[in-house]
Amino acid sequence: MKYGSTSYLPTLITSDFENIPVALEVLKQWFATYGNRRGVAGIHLEGPFISKEKKGIHPENFVIKPTDSLLA
């Protein structure tokens, strides 16, 4: 392709933390099925480990601090 987008990152905005493992599993299944032939380059997780003071539109009740267990 000479012009335009050739790939994209599906984005998961800050939400209930339980949505993150689900989204990652969907992406894992996508790559198992299609590899990188369909333009999906990965996933963009917008939070939940962001600053409450600079959260912008992100819902504050889902902004959390990272812990070892959450990151595992």
- Looking at this protein, which amino acid is placed at residue 32? A
Q: Tell me the DSSP string of 14-69.
A: S--TTHHHHHHHHHHHHHHHHTTTTSB---EEE-SSS-STT-TTS-GGG-----HH
What digits encode the pLDDT tens for the residues 31-45?
999 887 788 888 898
Q: What is the pLDDT of residue 15?
A: 93
Low-confidence ranges of the chain (pLDDT < 50): none
Q: What is the pLDDT of residue 7?
A: 87
Q: What is the pLDDT of residue 25?
A: 94
Q: What is the pLDDT of residue 1?
A: 59
